[in-house]
Each structure stands twice: as C-alpha cells, then as structure tokens.
Amino acid sequence: MGVFAEDETVEKHISSLFGRCKWQAGVIVGSVTEKRHYAVAVIPTPFEDPESPGDFASLDKGWVVLHAEQVRQSLPGGLDIIGVYLFGSGKVDYAAKLRQLAYAVCRGGTDVETSQFGEGTDAVPTRARLAVHVCADTKKLTCRTYEIETPTASARPTEWKYKSFVSKWQTLTCGVDVSATVDLTAPRKGEPLQLETAIQASLQPECARIADAAVIFGEGVQLSRPSAELPETPIVKATLFVPVGLGLATRGVDPIVSVVANVQLAGELTGLAVVPPKSTVAEGARALKADLVRSLQARCLSVCRGWDEDTADEGGDVNGSAAVIQKAVARLPVRVAAPLVGPILLSDYITEGDVEENSDFAETIERFQEVFGLHVDAASIKPLETCAPEKINTADMPILSASTTAHTTAATQSTAQTAKCGDSGGNNTMLLVAATVLLVAVVVGALLSS
C-alpha cells in the first residue's frame, strides 16, 4: 500500500518550508482505502507560544491532539486525520516522537465512530497510519506506517508519490431535519454536571439511528447492492431512511436513568462527504453517516460553549447546572463552509442570527486561519443550510426527522409520533412494529415505482 499526496496542497506546502522554516509539525488530512492512502492536505500545528517556538523535542503531545480534534470537526465525511508529519533537521532523533504523536492523534479518529457504519470487515479497510519526516537539510522525505491498533507493531516503509487526484473526487450530500429532546442525566455525587460530556452521551441514541439508517444514492442504485459503484456524477444526492425508535433498543442503553434536565435541539443538518472515484455504495453510506454524526456533535458542542459563556458572564457555574440548562431551547447552529482544495469544503458552525446579521463571517475566517493556516474571504464562505455552495443544490434535498422517521408520507409521520408518545408496555411495542412495517412498505413501493 502506497501514498498518493495531492501536489496542489501537500507538495506545494512542503516545498515552501525549505529556507524559511526551521521546523514544523502537523497533521495529515486524507482518506484510507483498501489500496492506498490519499494525503489531501497537511495542516501545521500552531506553536503553543509563537514568540518562543522552541524545538521539536519540546512539542507537547496534548497540544497536537487538541489541534487535531479541532481540525477533525471541520472535515467532511470521507476524510480524517491519517497521520502526522515533521519538517526539521535530519540530525534530530524524530522517530520515537513521531510514532508517539501518530498513536495519540489517530487512535481517536473517525474510524472509531464509523466502525459501526460499515458492513463486516469493510467498515475499516486498514488501521495503518502515516508518520512522515521531511529533512530540512537534504530534502529527503521518509514515510512510514504504523498499525495503531497494535502498540508494539514495527514501522513499515511506505512509498510516497505526488499526484493530482482531488479534482476527480465525488461529493455526496443529503438533508436531515433534526428535532430531538436530549435528556441530561445526573452526574455522580459531588461532581459538577459536565455539559458537553452529558450532551455527547445523550446523543448516542440519535447517532445509533443514523448508523441504522438505509441509504439510497441517486435513482438506480439498489439497497441490496452495497458493493455497487456510486453513480458517475460529480455530485451525488442521497436519501436516508431512519428506523423508528430503534436507537435505544439496538444499543442496549438503559432507559431508567436520573434525568435532571431536558434540552430541546432542533435544526437542519446538511450531510457532506467526499469519496474517490469508483467508490461503492457501502463506502459512500459510511462516509455520509460519519459526517452526520460528526456534524451533529460539533453543533451541540457549539451550543454548549455558548451556554457556558452566557453562564460565566452571569457569574454562574461554567460547568452548567440544571437550573440553567432547563431553560435552554436551542436551534442547532448553521453549517457554513469554505473551499480547501478541489471539491473539498471545510465547515464551521455559527448561529442563524450571525448568518442573517453578519455577512463578513469574521469569526469563521479567524478560526480557519488559526486552525488550518488558511486565508479565506467572506465571499468564499457559504451557509450550506440556506445558501448552498457552487454546484451543490440543497433546496430539494429529502428531509426527515432523526427522532422519528422519514417524512415519506403524512401517514408514516403520524404513526411515528404516535409510537413515540404512546404508553410503555405491549401497546407501545405493537405501535413501533406497525410503524416499521408501514415504513418498509412505503420504501419498497417507491423503489418499485421508480
């Protein structure tokens, strides 16, 4: 397995370092398939203290991991952090530190989340991740891979080639309307309520429903053919069918918990993913589902930070409290995006008010500059939920409720709401079964009539 590195971004960035930079470390963004690694971009980790950058030996692992998490939140589905790199003198013993960073950064990546989205061994093609050193003295590039699931695994030399390929990748997109009540459970005795952790845990049933969803791409790709290739078009629209009420049942979540507050979360999610040409239906579905989960979690974190800031301004507990949380009815932030390279877009999340009132996107521009070192202007930033980027039309995308079922017909929506609001026990179970059978019948009828 070799590495294809995009020449427009990766080669251009590395070549620019010679003669102007003493050392630099960062993360490699890309995609991993069964045949090869695709390195789409290298993102330098900012110096923790710009006025005193120190050297590579003083680089803090936690700082690199924190930066990697911020990068990961902005990536579309199909992309993740696939390795780390170092530019510096060949006289420095870099191998041990690079290995340490690769394990720390990549083990927490999207592969852990998306392993539930695949089918069998197709879920994770390989866990080999990259550690790249570029010698500032000789310009030699050394690429090694590590199996990060095996801490004692030895490094393997890997071929690295520059090539232009991103422009040929496909963009996958879908629309999902989320309207959910998130229950926040009581923390352990004597501990403060960690708002972000509580919401992330409470989102697991919604994430499970996304994982269980059936996906249809275009009009001619059948659900029964996960190995079929995606339609050969630059933009492929998808429809998601979310099962009714299966999130809790299939994941074994205990419904008997001590709930201290409820948070009303509502908003539109635009799913966005990129995949190499000739990707399969299973690979496309996995990328889109991973993006929806990542996007939902990132938006909720954005809401949490807003609450924490408001509470701190009022002199309250910045960890959150039931009294503050119970008053919150939040509209999920809007997804805005800016181009990185080719069809690949980076995302940020801002409130609807900021979209309507401010057209300069000052905070988003600042964030892209700090996290990615990317210079963008306001004209290149587009809100995906209200104003789709060029060539991506979200106006006629299918809309469904992640907390009930697809809005296929008024009858299925009504049945799902009845099942959701019904009493517990045998009647509730029968309603859920009836709603599921009705939904399957509607989907099959739509496929046969197409």
Buried b (16+ CB within 10 A) or exposed e, 195-205: bbebbbebbeb
**CB neighbour class for 233 (10 Å; exposed up to 12, middle 13-18, buried from 19):** exposed
Beta 128-135 vs 80-88: how paired, if at all? parallel
At residue 31, the pLDDT reads 94
Record the pTM. 0.77
The answer to whether the CB of 123 falls within 8 A of the CB of 114 is: yes
Q: Tokens for 77, please give them.
A: 């589905």
What are the strands of the beta sheet with 329-331, ordered from one edge?
214-217, 235-241, 170-185, 259-275, 329-331
Compute the distance between CA of residue 409 and CA of residue 360 in angstroms, rounded to an integer.
40
3-state helix, strand, coil in the chain (%, to 5): 35, 25, 35
At residue 299, the pLDDT reads 86
* Residue 347 amino acid letter: S
> Residue 274 forms beta bridges with which residues?
171
At residue 83, the pLDDT reads 94
Compute the distance between CA of residue 170 and CA of residue 140 in angstroms, rounded to an integer.
33
Q: Pick from 416, 12, 449, 429: which is nearest to 209 by CA? A: 416
Compute the distance between CA of residue 432 and CA of residue 304 in angstroms, rounded to an integer.
32
> Residue 310 forms beta bridges with which residues?
none
At residue 388, the pLDDT reads 37
At residue 183, the pLDDT reads 65
Compute the distance between CA of residue 208 and CA of residue 273 in angstroms, rounded to an integer.
19
**For the chain, which ranges sit under pLDDT 50?**
109-116, 118-123, 246-257, 311-313, 315-325, 327, 387-434, 437-438, 441-444, 448-450
| Beta strand ranges found along 320-429 (DSSP E) | 329-331, 334-341, 344-350, 382-383
The answer to whether the CB of 145 falls within 8 A of the CB of 129 is: yes
Written as one string, the DSSP assignment of 336-350 is EEEEEETTEEEEEEE
Instruction: List all residues 6 or more positions away from 148 whose beta carbon is below 8 Å from its beta carbon.
Output: 102, 103, 106, 107, 127, 128, 129
φ/ψ (deg, to 5) at 243: -65, 150
Q: Pick from 17, 110, 28, 11: which is nearest to 67 by CA? A: 28
Q: Tokens for 85, please give them.
A: 């790199």
Q: Pick from 352, 245, 376: which is nearest to 302 by CA? A: 352
